[in-house]
Amino acid sequence: MTGFAAVDVIIAKRDRRELTGEQIRWVIDAYTAGDVAEEQMSALLMAILLNGMTAAEIANWTTAMLHSGIRLDLTGVGRPTVDKHSTGGVGDKISLPLAPLVAACGAAVPQLSGRGLGHTGGTLDKMESIPGWRARLSPQEMTAQLAAVGAVICAASDDLAPADRKLYALRDVTGTVESIPMIAASIMSKKIAEGTESLVLDVKVGSGAFMKRAEHAAELARTMVELGAREGVRTTALLTDMSTPLGVAVGNAIEVAESVEVLAGGGPADVVELTLALAREMVALAGLDVDPADVLASGRAMDSWRAMVAAQGGDPDAPLPTPRFREIVVAQTTGVVSALDALAVGTAAWRLGAGRARREHDVQQAAGILCRAKPGDPIRVGQPLFELHTDTPELFQGALADLADAVTIASPGTVVRRSPLVMEIIRAV
């Protein structure tokens, strides 16, 4: 495709003109091939951030990124395919119990996942706490596992939406991550490319989420649902609360352990609630007449978990990593926990080694935080609020500073009313 110059595309968006489908396809292809300079794409991304995009532009941008690489064919797995994507949160281990649960309901779940960056954890980092487990599968291994087990959690192939990988790295260093059109196109190009027939989106809202305000989260959710519908992928989005960490565990190995508790019929009530809410939407989109709560209670989801872990070389019975050092933070006041700031907890866990500042950094599998008191819990002076885990004791100081104002304690007898965990459900019109 010829006849375009990068500077003309930049000027068009700078002057708030709508980019044509041809312009968008050209600039994505040329940038992926290295024919559009980084500084030129940086300027275009900033113009998009400041001036926005129309629905047609977002759709064309998504399609162009989708077609920059391969699109997986999952038609041979023998089950309806449905996936879930979360925009990321603190303690958000939901993919771990959810994928085997939905597989046990009769669907195939191709959960292509990523690694954590900053205060939000990555599913692959958590799974790599399991001895022997491997994240990298070929497309052939992935489809074979879906047919045999019904669930896979693995890294995306480098051939899947390569334009997005390059653009994401550039957005990260140019202050353009917050662009809703770019977020929507990034997520949906990868999810559509993986070949799933249906998709449920978990769009987080609150202090520990990327989207702090409900109206922005709803805009993102609607945009992604519309993109899925345009590409023939049945898509539903749930707006869910991320003002408080999910569950008790925030980290890697400790989140795996908590996920196994859920699969065994226990675990924190909020993790169970959200797992079942997402599972119900997924099985409905897949056309299955089954109640995930019954399947979870039956133990079949645990069987699927063990089979999924083993299929990727992991030992589901192996001990998980434990920290060399622990620190307990206790309450200085008696009363009722009225708030627990998810961002502060996520940042503290990151400082302890559970996350990374740059993509090339390693994480500590045993690092993290156990939240010993959640909103609504009565608390006494000296009672544990947090249990901090790390292999590097000098990291405690920074984490403790992050947690200094993380908990709000109201007077004894205060009734704490939390907002619903699932705030809104957005479906295709």
171 is catalytic: yes
**What type of residue is 283?**
V
| Residue tagged active-site, from 186, 243, 259, 304 | 186
85 is catalytic: yes
Beta bridge partners of 424: 239
d(CA 89, CA 200): 16
243 is catalytic: no
| Residue tagged active-site, from 85, 93, 166, 204 | 85
Find out whether 292 and 283 touch, Cβ atoms under 8 Å. Answer: yes
92 is catalytic: no
| Residue tagged active-site, from 93, 171, 222, 356 | 171
Q: Determine how many CB atoms are found less than 10 A away from the CB of residue 362.
A: 8
Q: Determine how many CB atoms are found less than 10 A away from the CB of residue 110.
A: 23
| Residue tagged active-site, from 83, 92, 125, 164 | 164
Helices 180-193 & 38-51, crossing angle to 10 degrees? 110
Q: Determine how many CB atoms are found less than 10 A away from the CB of residue 143.
A: 21
186 is catalytic: yes
Tokens representing 140 are 């052939």
Output the CA–CA distances (angstroms, integers) from residue 33 to 24, 26, 280, in the order listed.
Answer: 14, 10, 42
| Residue tagged active-site, from 25, 190, 191, 351 | 190
Helix (H, G, I), strand (E, B) or coil at 339: strand
Q: What is the DSSP letter of 78?
A: S
Strand order in the sheet with 198-205: 82-86, 198-205, 234-241, 422-427
Buried b (16+ CB within 10 A) or exposed e, 123-139: bbbbbbbbeebebebeb
Enumerate the active-site residues: 85, 164, 171, 186, 190
